[in-house]
Structure formats: structure tokens, C-alpha cells
Amino acid sequence: MSTVSLFWHRRDLRLEDNLGLAAARNAGHPVVGFFCFDRHILNRLPALDRRVGFIHHHVERLQASYHSDGGTLLVAHGHPLESLQSAVDQLRQQGSDVAHIHANRDYAPYPVKRDAEIGQWCHAQGITFHLHDDHVVMPPEAVLKDDGTPYTVFTPYSRKWHKVRDAMAHDPLSTVDSPGAGSWAKVTGAALPSLTDMGFDAESGNPEGWKAFDFPLQDATIKRYEERRDIPSQTGTTRMSLHLRFGTVSIRALAQRGMAHSEKWLTELIWREFYQAILHHFPHSASDAFRAKYDRIPWRQDEDGFAAWCAGQTGYPLVDAGMRELNTTGFMHNRVRMVVASFLCKHLLVDWRWGERYFAEKLLDYELASNVGGWQWASGSGCDAAPYFRVFNPESQMKKFDPKGVYVKKWVPEWGTADYAAPIVEHKMARQRAIDTYKAALADA
């Protein structure tokens, strides 16, 4: 029997600068790769889901890279623990004993629970289970207040992030090499399941579906980020969110480019880490208001208003353009995300959770921590949120960020004609209603 290490790819679909994979290789045993299409997650998705197509496309590429390097990426479709057990059994039957399983940590509630179960099972099997911090530069425990408690406000968090980095003997932005030929064990495994084998429409895998994210990141885009980031008609942001979600790029490589070219852009990458840390330290915030008293707001059960918002038929051009961009491409510009989210929670007084769920279904870059963070920011209920009396005026936002209506015309061609919907709610009334409702609900009992 030879001894091997298993490296379990989850949301890190790359060989380059993968800290967990590098650690597995450095542990001294040949490495076998493993990926599981997790039924627990996939079973809840619709048959046409381009995120699954994106993952499938990258797993296929990863498998080809393993193969051309003389290694193997085993791919399963099932529940993670059972799939892992069966991979370990298969390897044993081929004369390879798995002594170590390595993976990169995911900080959200479901993966934390899953990994705790896997850890217990490994322990019972005499296999060591190692988790590494790869998805963020600073894991949630690395950036804490001096008294050891988590930050709940971004600016001091960000300051401390830099301070911790400066104090580290080993720069956490350093990257590691891809494992070369000679790092791998060659074994046999089942063929990659197709999208249709897994119950998905083959169209989910059409790369046209994620073209909003599919272009190389140029230094020039990062350098001009601050100047162009708020203009939704331009591709002035980097569209890295989908790649960061599934780890087809390395956060360290991106943060280095931020350091070199744009402090502002680096700050956005740190916002991502802040929200990961918030969700990790305060897992209740995935479904409840971070600030409990915001759960006292009597949200309106406005099904019609919500349907108009989802369809981009509110009669507010910037809101409608954003929702139609989302429905068509799976992406929405950050400035417009803020405007549509504020409109739903404040103008319509609809529970932020409805909007959060809708974004979760539609966004290709959907990420629980950032989505909940963004929605709670907009509704005022989050840790470092917009004050409740700040109600974005969608008309002034358009005047400021899309003055010529270039973005709006692209997504709402009937804007300015008799065919365009009348506003479903009057701004002045809605603004006052939101302020009064929030004020009454938040008043100390």
C-alpha cells in the first residue's frame, strides 16, 4: 500500500497559488485531487443554472490540467461525506491509502458544519483533516480588536487589516507555485458527470451565460477604477466577483495588484473579507437582522410591488434597468445594486430577505456573506449600515451616475415613450413613509 494525500477542491477551482494544495504537496505524499458536486446545494437549484455550468466548465479544465501533469482529479456527484468515503475506499482498492485530506476553509455556516462532520469522520478513520485559509488574505480570527472581539465597523477593521499585514513576518500576499509534475499520484476514477447526468439543462454550460465576467483583468482597469467605478454604463469595475466566488483567481494575486495600482480597489477586496468575517462571527446575520431591533420593522407584504421590482417594471428607470440587467446577465453594477436594494426596503417597505433571496437566485456572483452584507447595509439593519433615514432618490441617483441615460436606455428601451410603466409608488410619500415606519419601530419600547 502506498500513502497518498487527498486535496479536496471546493471553491478554489485552480492549481495556481492554491495554499491548501501547496500544503498537501509539501506534506511529502503524492496528491490526488477530489471535487464533489454537492447534492445538498445542487438539489435546490433550477435546471437552468449558469453557476453550475461555470463550475462544471472549470472542473473540466482543472481535470485536464491534472491529467496533463500526470495526476488525477476524482469527481463525484453526491453528498460530500459519502462521496469522500467512497473516494477513499476506491483509492484503497487501488493500493493507495489516504493518510491526509487537505482543503481550503470556507467560513459560511453550511460549510463550517459540513467540515466539522468531515473532521469527525476523518478522525474515526485515522485520517488527518487539514483546513487552510486561502479564500481571503486575512481569515476571520486574524483581524480582531485589541480586546480580542470582532470588528463590526468597516473603517477600523480595514485599518487593522493593514496593521496586521505589516506586522506579519511572512507577507500574507505572497503567492505559492503550482504543484509541478511529480507531485501527483495517478489513479483511476469515474468520468466527469455531464450537466445533464446531474439533472441540469445543457444550456447551463453555455459560456455565453457568463460572458459578463469573462475578460482578462487589465492593470489599466484597476488604475482607472476610482474614476469609473460608479458609472454603470461603463465596464469600469473589474468583474472579479464570480472568479473570487469559485476561486478561479487567487485573492492574493489580486490584492497585490490592488496594492500596486489602486488603494480604492484594494479597499473593496477588504470589504469582501470584512463581510466574510462578520458572517463567520455572527452567523445569525445570515437570516436575522444584525441589529435585532430592525426585526421589529413591520414590513409590507407587497406581493405586487415585489413582482414589479423583480421584473424591472417599477417606473423608476435606474431601478428597472438594474433589475433587467440582473435578469438577463446574472450581473448588476454595484451602484445599481445599492439603488434597487434601497428601493425595495425603503420605497416599498418590503423585507430585505425577499430581495436577498431574489439576488441569491439570479446573481452569478452570489456569495452569502457579501449579499447579506449588501442587503443589510441597504435596509439599515446591518453592522455598518446606511442610516435608516438615508433613502436613495432613484431619480437623483440616475442624474448623478447615468445623466445621459446610456445605461438605462440599454436595458429599458421603452424609457421615455408612452409604453414605459408609470411609477408604482410616489417618491416623496414613500420616503416619508419609510422614515416614519422605521422611526416608530426602532423607538425604544
Ligand X SMILES: Cc1cc2nc3c(=O)[nH]c(=O)nc-3n(C[C@H](O)[C@H](O)[C@H](O)COP(=O)(O)OP(=O)(O)OC[C@H]3O[C@@H](n4cnc5c(N)ncnc54)[C@H](O)[C@@H]3O)c2cc1C
Which chain residues interact with ligand X by CB under 6 A? 229, 237-241, 244, 268-269, 271-272, 275, 334, 337-338, 341, 359, 363, 365-367, 370-371, 373-375, 378
Helices 109-125 & 80-93, crossing angle to 10 degrees?
30
The smaller minimum CB distance to ligand X, of residues 108 and 185, is found at 108
The smaller minimum CB distance to ligand X, of residues 75 and 364, is found at 364
**Least distance (Å) from ligand X to the CB of residue 36?**
23
Alpha carbon distance 38, 52 (integer Å): 11
The smaller minimum CB distance to ligand X, of residues 215 and 389, is found at 215
User: 188 φ, ψ to 5°?
Assistant: -110, 150
Pairing of strands 31-38, 2-9: parallel
The smaller minimum CB distance to ligand X, of residues 308 and 378, is found at 378
**Least distance (Å) from ligand X to the CB of residue 14?**
16
Alpha carbon distance 340, 392 (integer Å): 9
Based on the residue annotation, tell me whether 375 is a catalytic residue of this protein: yes
Alpha carbon distance 52, 112 (integer Å): 21
Asked if 202 contacts 195 with a C-beta cutoff of 8 angstroms, the reply is yes
Separation in Å, CA 140 to CA 76, 274, 277: 30, 8, 4
Of 161, 352, 377, 411, which one is the catalytic site residue? 352
The smaller minimum CB distance to ligand X, of residues 237 and 314, is found at 237
Based on the residue annotation, tell me whether 18 is a catalytic residue of this protein: no
The smaller minimum CB distance to ligand X, of residues 80 and 374, is found at 374
Based on the residue annotation, tell me whether 268 is a catalytic residue of this protein: yes
**Least distance (Å) from ligand X to the CB of residue 359?**
6
Alpha carbon distance 425, 34 (integer Å): 52
The smaller minimum CB distance to ligand X, of residues 269 and 408, is found at 269
Which amino acid is present at 403?
P
Asked if 134 contacts 124 with a C-beta cutoff of 8 angstroms, the reply is no
**Least distance (Å) from ligand X to the CB of residue 115?**
22
Alpha carbon distance 330, 307 (integer Å): 18
Find the residue with minimal CB distance to ligand X.
Answer: 374
The smaller minimum CB distance to ligand X, of residues 87 and 134, is found at 134
**Least distance (Å) from ligand X to the CB of residue 82?**
29
Which amino acid is present at 139?
P
Asked if 238 contacts 217 with a C-beta cutoff of 8 angstroms, the reply is yes
Of 184, 354, 375, 411, which one is the catalytic site residue? 375
The smaller minimum CB distance to ligand X, of residues 118 and 378, is found at 378
Based on the residue annotation, tell me whether 271 is a catalytic residue of this protein: yes
Separation in Å, CA 243 to CA 16, 51, 403: 13, 11, 31
Alpha carbon distance 293, 366 (integer Å): 27
Asked if 279 contacts 292 with a C-beta cutoff of 8 angstroms, the reply is no
Asked if 290 contacts 382 with a C-beta cutoff of 8 angstroms, the reply is yes
CA nearest neighbour of 81 among 55, 104, 101, 97: 101
**Least distance (Å) from ligand X to the CB of residue 383?**
12
3-state secondary structure 31-42: EEEEEEEEHHHH
Alpha carbon distance 321, 170 (integer Å): 46
Based on the residue annotation, tell me whether 411 is a catalytic residue of this protein: no
H/E stretch holding 377: helix 368-379
CA nearest neighbour of 336 among 327, 349, 353, 323: 323
**Least distance (Å) from ligand X to the CB of residue 108?**
12
**Least distance (Å) from ligand X to the CB of residue 41?**
15
**Least distance (Å) from ligand X to the CB of residue 230?**
10
Based on the residue annotation, tell me whether 8 is a catalytic residue of this protein: no
Give 346's DSSP letter.
I
What is the separation of C-alpha 23 from the centre of its chain, rounded to a whole number of angstroms? 24
Pairing of strands 73-78, 31-38: parallel
Which residue numbers are catalytic? 268, 271, 299, 334, 352, 375
